[in-house]
Chains A and B, each alone.
Chain A
Amino acid sequence: MELILALGIGVLTGSGVWLLLRPRTFQVIIGLSLLSYAVNLFIFSTGGLRTGAAPVLERGMAGSLASHADPVPQALVLTAIVISFATTALFLVLLLAARGLTGTDHVDGKEKSR
């Protein structure tokens, strides 16, 4: 299990970094999204991989790690998901504005001089 997820995170990171280094804004935005999946999964995995652990407490009872999933990485990742959504939105709008303003979708705002 750990191996699968670790390899998955690795592939997402690799694809994300590759796209991050590309010259077109759309490639970069896709790359950042992939990278954020990888990072979210990584943070999530720091709580340990547990199948079948209860995510929700019994009414009136205190939970314990023995039977419940670790809520801290989950809370962190929930925040991270929302924030990465916000950055994607902001980046998309910037991308569009830059494209409208400069006429190109190169990350530097101009085609590379040849």
Chain B
Amino acid sequence: MSDALLLLAATGLPFIGAIVAGMLPTHARNTAAWLAGAIAIIGLGLVWAAYPTVAAGGVIRHSMAWMPSLGLDLTLRMDGFAWLFAGLVFGVGALVVLYARYYMSADDPVPRFFAFLLAFMGSMTGVVLSGNLIQLAFFWELTSLFSFLLIGYWHHTAAARDGARMALTITATGGLCLFAGVLLLGHIAGSYNLDVVLASGDKIREHALYLPALVLILMGALTKSAQFPFHFWLPHAMAAPTPVSAYLHSATLVKAGVFLMARLWPVLAGTEAWFWIVGSAGLATLLVGAYVAIFQNDLKGLLAYSTISHLGLITLLLGLNSELAMVAAIFHILNHAAFKASLFMAAGIIDHETGTRDLRRLSGLNRFMPFTTRLAMVAAAAMAGVPLMNGFISKEMFFAETLTAQASLPLLLHILPFAAMVASAFAVAYSLRFIHGAFFGPDPVDLPHLPHEPPAWMRLPVEILALACIIIGLLPAATVGPYLNMAAHAALGAATPEYSLAVWHGFNTPLVMSLLALAAGVTLYFLLQPLFRRNIEGPPFISRLEGRRMFERSMVFLSWRLARTLEGLLGTRRLQPQLRLVVCVAILAAGWAVYRRGLGPGNLVPQGIDPVLALIWVIGAACALGAAWQAKFHRLAALILLGGTGLVTCVTFVWFSAPDLALTQLLVEIVTTILLLLGLRWLPKRLPSTGTSEVMRTGRRLRDLAIAITAGLGMAGLAFGVMTRFPPEILAQHFLERAYTEGGGTNVVNVILVDFRGFDTLGEIAVLGVVALTAYALLRRFRPAPDSVDVPEQQRDQSAYDIARPERREGDTVADWLLIPSVIARLLFPVVGMVALFLLLRGHDLPGGGFAAGLMGSIAMILQYMLGGTQWVEARLRVLPLRWMGLGLLLAAGTGLGALLFGRPFLTTYFAYADLPLIGEIPTASALLFDIGVFALVIGATMLTLIALARQSVRGHRAAAPRVSATSAPAVPGPILGGAPTTAPTGAPTAATGDD
């Protein structure tokens, strides 16, 4: 098998499995377990297949180009160290899957559990196999995310939700720090490639940015490995199902932190800063964790704190700046994974078979589950460091290291061995409490279930792990020796020291320390018995120092109090001040730029003033001012004036050689006006303001007027400055030269849109589609305000007229309204449609194109709606705007994809001319197909919005019908613009009053 395939499969398979498991039906417990188990075993097989290469000191690599311009590759890389961790992830993973199959209840959605577990497994593999720092940080955050999902698996309990949230907040924050840290590290080393980084240790340690990078990376590692003072999330993560705890807190999640520290050890360690930060964090965690663990009443809580303590031990070893300590750390990572996973599983078995994990209720289980008792005893002995167990050997190494550690502060060196012994004695005490408390003593009373042995398959993983503890303890060199050696060489390189893995090193100081600690631990446990019997909650002396409470307080402060205060000080929920601020900042920014660069006279002489254009713009300016003046009380007038300004803009485009723009502007103008007219119907009647004082309002208006005038003058100045400068040519020349020769069209603007910048246009029509769908969705749930529900006054008058005359039916007048224009419009329908088609076909060579044609087509249809009425049109013409939109998008994207079939990049166009009978020669570039897509989408999007708005009249009338006349049939909807829009019913209850 090729290296690339092996690495990709090892990282990718768990994620694929996660997706498959996630799609299984909720009760497919066995299928999901088989799937997860198979993937873990395959993963283990893949890791094993890599062993020959890795054992020979080789490194398996596979790189994929990611952002080559930035020198970034996605790299998967497996050396001996990563191999060991990958084996741990898959090996313990397989055991946990087997255990979880029996632990998880059939009532839980088990496939979801395995989906999360597999995804987590993949993320963890990604972390250990990353050959690129940024990639590592990415997978790191993924582990945080999936551990969040796993811890919160039983999301119906508050404890699970809180624990998951806390774990995510802390580990993900650490992950962000780590990301910043690796960016710095990559910057120092000049590459994010792990091989390069590992080779530039001296350069990194001497760099000025070493300390910030170190602190940031350690923030990531220490939070992940639950080191003091970030340790408190781990006990709360015990709300997770026990298999999750067994996996996350023995072999994987928390080990990611120590993995990272060990991975970067050759680069970052060896300095005073490393010793002080890592060493003191490890020492504090070791002691605090062990001390608190003794006083836990929950089995899993005890194990959680013992995990914290053992991680502290590993961290302390890494912090000692000694190669031998590093080897001991790697060894202890392995040992801890073995005994802690089996202990968690044993705790889970107890919980599963008795219904409680409370040490105050449990006792004497030995008589009910003797096998489990033996297994737990073996694992607990390993945890306590009893001789002939695996934990003993790594602990001996730890003691030896504390005796020979080097540091600049001698006092600490004297304390270190004693601290190690004290922690070790605590470990003996809590291990004893676990075993003695749960399995021995009088028979349990009042347990939720009668305890019995678990299913044999559920016990198998514990048996395997306990066996491993014994065999490694008895024959360390023969069992894990080669693997440990390989990992140490991979992590340390040539600096790997000589060491001996043996049970018996003679009667030396570490052995004495071990024996002393053992005796002290046993004594301590029996001395503490009265204290345990008093049902204490939490450890003496420091029970008030609870990390969780501080965390919650700071969370409340940050996310609530501080946020509220800042919002009160700096923010506003009112739109007007926000917009005022935006405009002012824009004015200041433009003013600043002008002030810095100057806006002197340009290099072009202004052309003479044409009186016709001047007159046109006098009208345009008057329209704009009028619209601004009237927009409050006379909306229809403002709308008409706005149209006037639009027409002037349109004429300006024609004047200055832009027929395409003029055409599109004209059509957009028409559609926009119709759209706004349709909206006017639903706005409230505006009455002059009565509330606020005149002085205040005048003040506000004067201020806004000043802002508006400043903006206008500034914009005029800028525009004049720009126009009197010679325009940049390069782009224009480029497109002018290539439009015909390469795009096959003479209308350069159209060729740019559908060919050169076709991708932008594709995005633009997608935006149009999204807008139309949003409008449609919003209007589906539209409820008009109470005062706009009634049928407009004119229609009511007309209906009253009909009702008063016996020969007329209600609605006749409305139906006849604007009869002659509507007949003309019907006759015009095919003509306007032809114009649309004409615009579409000529677009590539002459002004026109998909946008203009689409708008023209919509106008043809909306004209019928306006004059014939919604129901009249819909009885005769089915527009199906959604189909048009779908067709348009598919056609445009499909044309682009079609280029791929011919081996060209996306959206490459082909062009030729076709000679059609009657019509003549038309350009048949594939861009035409694209343009037809644009056309279809524009028709669809415009019609969808317009029809959705138009139908509101029908719906609104329907809602109002009972109120208008209770006896009459549903009111006949007239032409949708039948009622003069600005006349809302007089005396409406909530007519808003005007104010500024």
Contact = CB atoms under 8 A, between A and B. Distances in A.
B627 A34 contact: yes
Interface in A47-90: 47-65, 68-72, 74-75, 77-79, 81-83, 85-90
Interface in B593-643: 604, 606-610, 613-614, 617, 620-621, 624-625, 627-628, 631-632, 635, 638-639, 642
A87 to B, nearest CB: 7
A48 B767 contact: no
B719 A4 contact: no
A57 B748 contact: yes
A75 B752 contact: yes
Contacts of A63: 736-737, 739-740, 748
Given A27-B632, A29-B676, A107-B575, A13 B657 contact: no
Given A1-B613, A20-B579, A61-B740, A103 B748 contact: no
Nearest to B994: A24
Interface string B218-231: 00000000000000
A71 B747 CA distance: 9
Contacts of B652: 5, 8, 41
Contact of A78 (B708, B781, B851): B851
B617 A4 contact: yes
Interface stretch (B335-343, B540-548, B783-791, B902-910): B783-791
B779 interface: yes
A17 B724 contact: no
Interface in A14-28: 14-24, 26-27
B980 interface: no
A33 B642 contact: yes
Nearest to B716: A10
Residue among A23, A50, A56, A69 with the most chain B CB within 10 A? A56
Contacts of B871: none
B771 interface: yes
B954 interface: no
Interface stretch (B50-58, B147-155, B473-481, B727-735): B727-735
A50 B656 contact: yes
A26 B712 CA distance: 21
A18 B704 contact: yes
Secondary structure of the A contact surface, majority rule: helix
Per DSSP, chain B at the interface is helix
A55 to B, nearest CB: 5
B495 interface: no
Contacts of A99: 682-684, 785, 788
B945 A89 contact: yes
A108 B575 contact: yes
A75 B661 CA distance: 8
Range, interface on chain A: 35 or more
B984 to A, nearest CB: 11
Interface string B753-773: 100010011001001100110
A31 B676 CA distance: 13
Contact of B642 (A8, A30, A68, A114): A30
B583 A46 contact: no
A55 B645 contact: no
B716 to A, nearest CB: 3
Contacts of A50: 656-657
Contact of A47 (B638, B660, B727, B757): B727
Contacts of B676: 29, 88, 92
A7 B576 contact: no
A8 B631 contact: no
B688 to A, nearest CB: 13
Contacts of B738: 62
Given A1-B608, A114-B691, A46 B722 contact: yes
B607 A75 contact: no
Contacts of B761: 79
B642 A34 contact: yes
A33 B671 CA distance: 13
B802 interface: no
Given A6-B723, A11-B625, A18-B704, A82 B583 contact: no
B972 interface: no
Given A44-B656, A71-B739, A21 B610 contact: no
Interface size class of B (residues with CB under 8 A): 35 or more
Contacts of A2: 606-607, 720, 723-724
A49 B941 CA distance: 33
Interface string B664-676: 1100100110011
A20 B705 CA distance: 11
Contact of A62 (B576, B653, B708, B740): B740
A27 B746 contact: no
A54 B683 contact: no
B575 A68 contact: no
B933 to A, nearest CB: 14
Contacts of B620: 8, 11-12
B753 A75 contact: yes
A59 B709 CA distance: 47
Given A53-B657, A63-B748, A75-B753, A103 B785 contact: yes
B628 A75 contact: no
A35 to B, nearest CB: 9
Given A51-B655, A89-B775, A22 B631 contact: yes
A77 B952 CA distance: 32
A105 B539 CA distance: 61
A12 B664 CA distance: 20
Given A1-B608, A10-B713, A75-B749, A19 B722 contact: no
B450 interface: no
Given A2-B720, A10-B719, A30-B631, A48 B740 contact: no
B954 to A, nearest CB: 15
Contacts of B680: 26
Nearest to B682: A96
Contact of B771 (A55, A81, A87, A101): A87
Given A23-B576, A27-B631, A71 B735 contact: yes
Given A9-B716, A60-B740, A79-B760, A103 B990 contact: yes
A7 to B, nearest CB: 6
Contacts of A37: 624, 645-646, 649
Nearest to B659: A55
A53 B785 CA distance: 52
B992 interface: yes
Nearest to A108: B574
A108 B667 CA distance: 32
A57 B679 contact: no
Contacts of B671: 85
A20 B583 contact: yes
Given A7-B617, A82-B664, A42 B719 contact: yes
B606 A1 contact: yes
Nearest to A101: B783
Given A3-B720, A85-B671, A56 B845 contact: yes
7 contacts: A8-B621, A22-B996, A24-B631, A41-B652, A69-B658, A88-B676, A93-B778
Nearest 10 interchain pairs by C-beta: A14-B712, A10-B716, A63-B736, A6-B720, A18-B708, A71-B748, A15-B628, A13-B715, A69-B657, A57-B746
Given A30-B628, A97-B781, 14 more contacts: A10-B719, A24-B686, A40-B649, A51-B655, A55-B657, A62-B740, A70-B732, A71-B735, A78-B664, A81-B661, A92-B679, A100-B682, A100-B788, A112-B995
Interface of B: 573-576, 579-580, 583, 604, 606-610, 613-614, 617, 620-621, 624-625, 627-628, 631-632, 635, 638-639, 642, 645-646, 648-649, 652-653, 655-661, 664-665, 668, 671-672, 675-676, 679-680, 682-684, 686, 691-692, 704-705, 707-709, 711-713, 715-720, 722-724, 726-727, 729, 731-733, 735-741, 746-749, 752-753, 757, 760-761, 764, 767-768, 771-772, 774-775, 778-779, 781-786, 788, 845-847, 851, 938, 941, 945, 948-949, 952, 990, 992-996
